[in-house]
Amino acid sequence: MPVATPKQYEAMLDAAQKGGYAYPAVNITSIVTINAALKAFADAKTDGIIQVSTGGGQFASGLNVSDAAFGAIILAEATHLLAEKYDILVALHTDHCHPAKVDGFLRPLLVASRKRIAEGKGPLFQSHMYDGSELPLDENLEMSKSLLKECAELDIILEIEAGVVGGEEDGHDTSGLPAEKLYTTPDDMLTVYEELKPLGRFIFAATFGNVHGAYKPGAVKLKPTILRDGQKAVTDKHGAEAEMDLVFHGGSGSELSDIRETLDYGVVKMNIDTDTQYAFTRPIVTHMCENIEGVLKIDGEVGVKKVYDPRSYLKAAEKNMADRLIEASKDLRSDGQTICGTV
Yes or no: say if 47 and 26 are a contact pair by the CB < 8 Å rule.
no
Mean of the pLDDT values across residues 335-341? 94
Q: Tell whether 298 is covered by a domain.
A: no
Q: Which domain holds residue 83?
A: 6-280
More confident of the two residues 167 and 79: 79
- Establish whether 245 is a catalytic residue: no
Q: Please, what is the average pLDDT of the chain?
A: 92
CATH code for the domain of 181: 3.20.20.70
Q: How far apart are CA 135 and CA 160, in angstroms?
A: 12
DSSP calls for 273-287? -HHHHHHHHHHHHHH
Mean pLDDT to the nearest integer, 279-294: 97
| pLDDT tens per residue across span 64-104 | 999 999 999 999 999 999 999 999 999 999 999 999 999 99
**Residue 194 located in a structural domain:** yes
The verdict on residue 308 lying in a domain is no
For the chain, the C-alpha Rg in angstroms (whole number) is 20
Q: With a cut of 60, say whether residue 122 has pLDDT above it.
A: yes
Give the closest residue to 99 by CA, choosing from 44, 139, 48.
Answer: 139
The single-letter DSSP state of residue 209 is S
CA-CA distance, 81 to 105, in Å (whole number)? 22
Q: What is the pLDDT of residues 203-232, one digit of tens each?
A: 999 988 876 555 554 555 788 999 999 999
Q: How confident is the model at residue 275 (pLDDT cuts 50, 70, 90)?
A: very high
Strands 202-206 and 172-173: unpaired
CA distance 306 to 294: 8
> Domain total for the chain?
1
The three-state secondary structure class of 14 is helix
- Picking from 314, 247, 197, the residue whose alpha carbon sits closest to that of residue 94 is 247
Q: Smallest Cα–Cα separation from 244: which of 254, 259, 230, 258?
A: 230
Mean pLDDT of 49-66: 98
For residue 57, tell me if it sits in a domain.
yes
- Per the domain annotation, does 313 fall within a domain? no
Q: What is the pLDDT of residue 153?
A: 98
136 inside domain? yes
The whole-number pLDDT of residue 165 equals 57
Answer whether 134's CB lies under 8 Å from 98's CB: yes
Kindly name the residue from 95, 258, 331, 335 that is annotated as catalytic. 95
- Asked, for residue 174, whether it belongs to a domain, the answer is yes
The pLDDT of residue 343 is 80
- Could you tell me if residue 342 is inside a domain? no
